[in-house]
Amino acid sequence: MATGWIRARAPATIANLGPGFDVFALAVRGPADEVAIRPAKRDSLQVHGVGAAGIPSTFSGNTAGITIEALRKATGISQPLEVRVAKGIPPGRGLGSSAGSCAAAALAFLKALPKSRDLGIAGVLRAAVEGEAAVSGRHYDNVAGALLGGFVILGSSEPLLLTREPVSPRIALAIAIPDFALRTADMRKILPPVVPLSDAVSNVGHAAILALALARGDAALAGRCLEDRFAEPVRAPFLDGYAEARSAALKAGATGFGLCGSGSSVFAFAPNSGVAGSLAEAMCDAFRSRGHAATPLVTAVDNRVPSAGLLPSFGRRFSVPAGRGPPSISWGHPPGISQSGLESRPDGITGETSRPRTPVLQHAPTPRRSRR
């Protein structure tokens, strides 16, 4: 391992996207966490940047340190490390702050210690999610989005099954980030244990069309598919300004509106950055009307692959099949049609090698609201 600092960055992410609870995640251009590591005689960790005062700064308590420890256990590498976490993703805003630190730490570890790359995507994801599990529950969506970029769909976490798609630049994102936080762990506790059949059917249908709309670059259709009948209805009452922000976004021309993860940020899709700017300001004004400062963010999906060059190469579209079951994801070829445009790799990834093809998308305590 080199003696100097090795750095890696991971983007903010929006999970759920309305109906895709624990299934969908988008990587977002702009806010990012950076983790730097170098060899040391003993483990240590420092945090600085956005919201650093409220984030654990011990190696065993921070998501970056927990991820590194999980990677060491998985690889047998015992090298002590000095770790510095530069926070660019505000915590408690539904933008994947803890996952960003997990992913950036994993990427820095892969850069510094090439032997760890033998874990492959699935192994690295399983290690990185240990950091997320320590603070907000064992869910893969944000971590997968931060490591892989683009639009990630989780079919299963055990065994692992996911697919990754780029999102058309024709879709812009309008985000409003209020000045208060909501703890993901608390917001998961209030979720209903049982979902009515009609609500489940609605979420599945909206999620399926939303995935296609994002791949096609149809901002209007994507916005109309953000309806969620599972998590958002029970979370919205804990987000002061939600109703006002939703109303303002729709009046300003948004085709849909949703929570970023479990909040407190909210978002809408737009056909271009100009419209997105108007939507972001309208949503922020709604929060301000409730006495909360809010920051607008006009951005787009980050289609870059943060782990590119560190893990086996793949194109912009790829899948990670399950460890058990079929050996690869179906990419829509009828029986008897050659799949010469696809390459299967030893680590179970299938991806494009020539022209892209379209895949077949196969009661609790009241939560506390912190105001960091």
Express each pLDDT in 329-351 by its tens digit. 333 333 333 333 333 343 444 45
- Average pLDDT over the chain reads 87
Residue with tokens 């879709």: 171
Residue with tokens 């970056």: 64
Residue 99 confidence (pLDDT): 97
CA pair distance 302, 163, nearest whole angstrom: 16
Q: CA angle, 271 as apex, 270 and 275 as ends, to 5°? A: 60
Count of residues making up the chain: 372
Active site positions, annotated: 132, 184
Torsion of CA 36, 52, 41, 124, to 10 degrees: -50
Strand partners, 44: 82
**What secondary structure letter does DSSP report for 193?**
S
CA pair distance 361, 162, nearest whole angstrom: 10
| Burial (Cβ within 10 Å: 0-12, 13-18, ≥19) of residue 316 | middle
pTM of the predicted model, to two decimals? Answer: 0.85
Q: Which segments of the chain belong to CATH 3.30.70.890?
A: 172-300
Q: Which segments of the chain belong to CATH 3.30.230.10?
A: 6-165
Write out pLDDT tens, residues 122-175. Answer: 999 999 999 999 888 889 999 999 999 999 999 988 888 999 999 998 899 999
CA pair distance 51, 218, nearest whole angstrom: 35
Q: Lowest-confidence range among 16-30, 119-133, 308-322, 342-356?
A: 342-356
Answer yes or no: are the C-beta atoms of 133 and 96 closer than 8 Å.
no
CA pair distance 151, 57, nearest whole angstrom: 31
> What single-letter amino acid sits at 213?
A
Strand 44-49 relative to strand 81-87: parallel, antiparallel, unpaired?
parallel
Helices (H), 113-161: 120-136, 141-148
CA pair distance 71, 268, nearest whole angstrom: 36
| Burial (Cβ within 10 Å: 0-12, 13-18, ≥19) of residue 50 | middle
- Is the pLDDT reported for residue 326 higher than 90? no
Q: Give Cα separations from 151 to 61, 296, 340, 360 (angstroms).
A: 29, 22, 25, 15
Considering the four listed CATH numbers 3.30.230.10, 3.40.50.920, 3.40.640.10, 3.30.470.20, the one that applies to the domain covering 6-165 is: 3.30.230.10
pLDDT > 70 in the chain, percent: 86
Count of C-beta atoms within a 10 Å radius of residue 361: 15
Strand partners, 48: 86
Half-sphere exposure of 317 (CA within 13 A, CB side): 20
**Angle formed by the axes of helices 97-112 and 63-75, to 10°?**
40
Torsion of CA 268, 273, 279, 282, to 10 degrees: 140
Is 172-300 in CATH node 3.30.70.890? yes
Instruction: Spell out where 281-331 has E strands.
Output: 294-300, 318-320
Residue 57 confidence (pLDDT): 92
Q: Lowest-confidence range among 71-75, 100-104, 248-252, 309-313?
A: 309-313
Q: Please state the rounded mean pLDDT for residues 254-259.
A: 94
The pLDDT confidence band at residue 325, using thresholds 50, 70 and 90, is very low
